[in-house]
Amino acid sequence: MAAVLPFKPRELMLAPLDPLDALSAEARAEAQRCLGLIRPALQRMAQGVSKRAAAAWLAQQGGDMPSLPTLQRWLAAYERDGLVGLAPKYKGRVRKEYGWEATALELFGNRPTQPHYSTVAMWLREKHGFENAADHLVRRYLQSLPSNLTETAPGRLGRHYYQQNVKPYVLRDNTVLPVGFIYEGDGHCCDVYVASPRTGNAYRPELTVWVDVRSHFVVGWYLSESESANTTLFSLSHALLRHDHVPAMLHADVGSGYVAKTISDQRTGFLARFSIEPIYALPGNAKGKGLIEGFWRWFEERCGKQFPTFCGHDRTDDYLRHLSRKVERGLIRLPTLAQYADACREYFDFYNRNHQKNLGCAPKDLWAELNRVPVETPAAAIMRPCEKRMVRRWGIALHNRIYRSGDLARYEGREVNVRYDLHNDMVVWIEDAKGRLIGEAKLVEKHPWLPDSRIEEAQQKRLEGQAQRLENKLVEFQGRAKAPLTGAAMLDALDDVHFLSATPSTPAPVSYLRPIDPEISERVTEAIAEAGQHEETPTERYQRWVNAEAELAAGQALPPELQTWFDTYQTSSEWRSFDRLRSTFGAVSGVVFPSP
């Protein structure tokens, strides 16, 4: 597992630099120029001539030669410090201290809002009383500081972003691993809208992929509606069955689909059945799974972007606005789930046979070196999750179902392992604590309202949760739609405001808070009261929009005021909530839809 180690700058320090390397390019050029002038005198000094005599001889040569004192000083400096001694000693003008430097650094380097230089200068002048904090002075000072205190400071970028994108990380050498030893996997909400196979509405599928760490070979994948233990189970089963190989370890995050007991339980979990050891990345540490995270980037770039319904963050147009309405009107044609699955399959085949520079070959070529560890388990048995249950009355209770078998009489009051089929709940397989098969138990009692498939039951539960969230949103809209304050009540409420008074403890006079003209005040109050006599509920507003939509569909023209309201209302979040209810359930409570 890739982990970030504490960064200690002293561990990365190299040998001390040559003092000449610390000079600027201009200083080094000046030192070389001075050395070229005094080189004849240095040659005479090497022959035994004194420094003073060599300098006097050189000064008599004429031309652009410096004065005798300057030449003597250069010769002494070169004799003492070498070429560095000839570099200019002027370091520039000493910066004047203004007193606001520490505050400016705090405002600029420790604010996650990332204020601009001019904003920091304005705060210094207006909020901290530094009248001399000019924009150019503040900007020049902050830009002169090390970047890890300003532009890339953790307080400015955010701790998580700094940890993931700025701080150094440990590079792991995967060449020491055998092929097929560790699989790294992750679930990804695809950036492409496809047509739901059930309703035909737009949705984004969830793709789970497993990649071999050594060869980068895609060993298994699965498309579903959302990440869960079932999708993890299906994708892992696909990886095991497709290549008839069991890896030694799995590397994944701590998502619900990977830490569920169905997968990770040390006794009955899927991984325990095949002696696979899980390795979990640190929460929020994307660098820990760099291989699969980088895989998603190029997957969307080369596979997702070929679809017109791609919705990634780097899409620049508004083609997908009001997507559901455009789909209903035939303006956008959604790809089917089968078409998207075929595109994923084609990309995985391309990825596996494409040459990778860091590998020196294609993943498929390296995967050919696999030393296979056979699964040796029937395909049907691999797909069966397992849970622990207590035997009561020669039976076990599982997912609101009762299963009984005469073989369970010997295990009354003991805990057993129960394996079940996700698609058929008529029978389960019972094992003892050591994994030995006891026998099959048949379904003898089932509540009539339960679906036959556990997958359908999970989908129904999720649908109920979606409906509840939409209902809560409608309640919120209805609460916001209460009648506004009347003009008189609003003016009376202003009587309690104290900020216009001379002192905080003395309320401002009422005359300061009311309009100067009493007639205007009376007309405003009457207009507000008249507007608040009828409170239109969100359901009534949506009904009005539905009626207008029906008129447009019938070829009738709307009045200009109604047309403007019609176009504006369908951009609101209230309309989107109603439209989502209509798309999901085909109806909205309290709304009558005209017959087509």
> What string of DSSP letters covers 53-64?
HHHHHHHTT-TT
- Listed in sequence order, the residues at least 6 apart from 110 whose beta carbon sits closer than 8 Å to its beta carbon are 153, 155, 156
- Token pair listed for 366: 């390296």
B/e letters for 64-99, b = 16+ CB within 10 Å, e = fewer, are eebeeeebbebbebbeeeebbbbbeeeeeeeeeeee
- CB 121, CB 108: distance < 8 Å: no
β-pairing verdict for 437-446 and 401-404 = antiparallel
As given in the structure block, the two tokens for residue 498 are: 């104290």
SS3 446: strand
Side-chain half-sphere exposure of 420, counting CA atoms within 13 A: 27
Which carries the bigger pLDDT value, residue 221 or residue 261? 221
- Mean pLDDT in residue range 192-212: 88
Three-state SS at 240: helix
- Asked whether the predicted pLDDT for residue 364 surpasses 60, the reply is yes
Q: Is the pLDDT of residue 520 over 60?
A: no
Q: What is the pLDDT of residue 422?
A: 59
- Contact between 262 and 387 under an 8 Å Cβ cutoff? The reply is yes
Q: Provide the β-strand partners of residue 210.
A: 185, 220
Amino acid at 534: H
Instruction: Please determine, for residue 461, whether its predicted confidence score (pLDDT) is greater than 80.
Output: no
* Mean pLDDT (whole number) for 486-506: 45
What does each C-alpha distance from 474 to 63, 466, 589, 592 come to in angstroms?
Answer: 92, 13, 11, 17
- Rounded Cα distance between 305 and 311, Å, is 9
Mean pLDDT comparison of 4-13, 40-49, 60-69, highest-scoring range: 40-49
Closest residue by Cα to residue 138 from 95, 110, 101, 96? 101
Summarize the chain as % helix, strand, coil (round to 5).
Answer: 45, 10, 40
Q: Does domain 384-446 have CATH number 2.30.30?
A: yes
Domain 174-367 indexed as CATH 2.70.98.20: no
Q: How confident is the model at residue 101 (pLDDT cuts 50, 70, 90)?
A: very high
Confidence of residue 479 (pLDDT cuts 50, 70, 90): low
- Rounded CA-CA distance 141/118 in Å is 12
Other C-beta atoms closer than 10 Å to the C-beta of 2 total 19
Reported as a single tens digit per residue, the pLDDT across 522-552 is 655 565 555 445 567 888 888 888 888 888 8
**CA distance linking residue 468 with residue 474, whole number of Å:** 10
Confidence of residue 591 (pLDDT cuts 50, 70, 90): confident
Q: How far is CA 248 from CA 179, 180, 251, 292, 420, in A?
A: 11, 8, 10, 18, 25
Sign of CA dihedral 400, 463, 473, 588: negative
- Residue 23 in tokens: 């000079």
Model pLDDT, residue 485 = 47
Token readout for 46 is: 């090497």
Chain centroid, CA 23 distance in Å: 43
The region of weakest confidence among 4-8, 374-378, 559-563, 591-595 is 4-8
Q: 146: which 2 tokens?
A: 């090390």
Which pLDDT score, from 0 to 100, does residue 499 have?
Answer: 38
Q: Residue written as tokens 């830009």?
A: 143
The values of phi and psi at residue 517, to 5°, are -90, 115
Residue with more model confidence, 295 or 465: 295
User: What's the average model confidence in pLDDT over 553-564?
Assistant: 85
pLDDT of 354: 93
pLDDT beyond 70 at 187 = yes
Query: How much is the mean pLDDT over the chain?
Result: 80
Q: What is the DSSP string of 120-132?
A: HHHHHHHTS--TT
Beta bridge partners of 184: 211, 251
**386: amino acid identity, one letter:** C
Q: Is the pLDDT at 98 greater than 70, yes or no?
A: yes
Which amino acid appears at position 178 of this protein? P
pLDDT level of residue 301 (50, 70, 90 thresholds): very high
Apex CA 13: angle with CA 10 and CA 19, to 5°?
130
Q: Which of these ranges, 327-331, 517-521, 592-596, has the smallest mean pLDDT?
A: 517-521
Q: What is the pLDDT of residue 481?
A: 59
Nearest to 439, CA basis, from 449, 448, 429, 447:
429
Cβ-contact 412, 391 below 8 angstroms: yes
pLDDT score, position 201:
85
Mind listing the pLDDT tens digit for each residue in 312-347? 888 888 888 888 788 888 888 899 988 998 999 999
| Residue 352 near residue 367, CB atoms below 8 Å | yes
> pLDDT-based confidence at 437, cuts 50/70/90?
confident
**What pLDDT is attached to residue 525?**
58
How many Å separate Cα 100 from the centre of its chain? 37
Yes or no: say if 423 and 458 are a contact pair by the CB < 8 Å rule: no
Q: Using alpha carbons, select from 240, 263, 281 the residue that is nearest to residue 375.
A: 240
Amino acid at position 213, single letter: V
d(CA 116, CA 444): 71
Helices (H), 215-267: 229-243, 256-259, 261-264
C-alpha span between 396 and 409 (Å, rounded):
11
**Phi and psi at residue 246, in whole multiples of 5°?**
-110, 115
Token pair of 361 as six digits: 């070959």
- Residue reference for tokens 């085949």: 349
DSSP state of 515: -
Provide φ and ψ at 415, rounded to 5°.
Answer: -90, 135
- Say if residue 220 is exposed, middle or buried (CB neighbours under 10 Å; 0-12, 13-18, 19+): buried
Residue range 121-146: average pLDDT? 93
Q: Single out the residue of 459, 389, 461 nearest to residue 428, CA to CA.
A: 389
Position with higher pLDDT, 5 vs 291: 291
Q: 211-225, 278-292, 401-415, 500-514: which range is least confident on average?
A: 500-514
The share of the chain scoring above pLDDT 90, in percent, equals 23
Distance, CA of 313 to CA of 564 (rounded, Å)? 31
Mean pLDDT of 377-406: 80
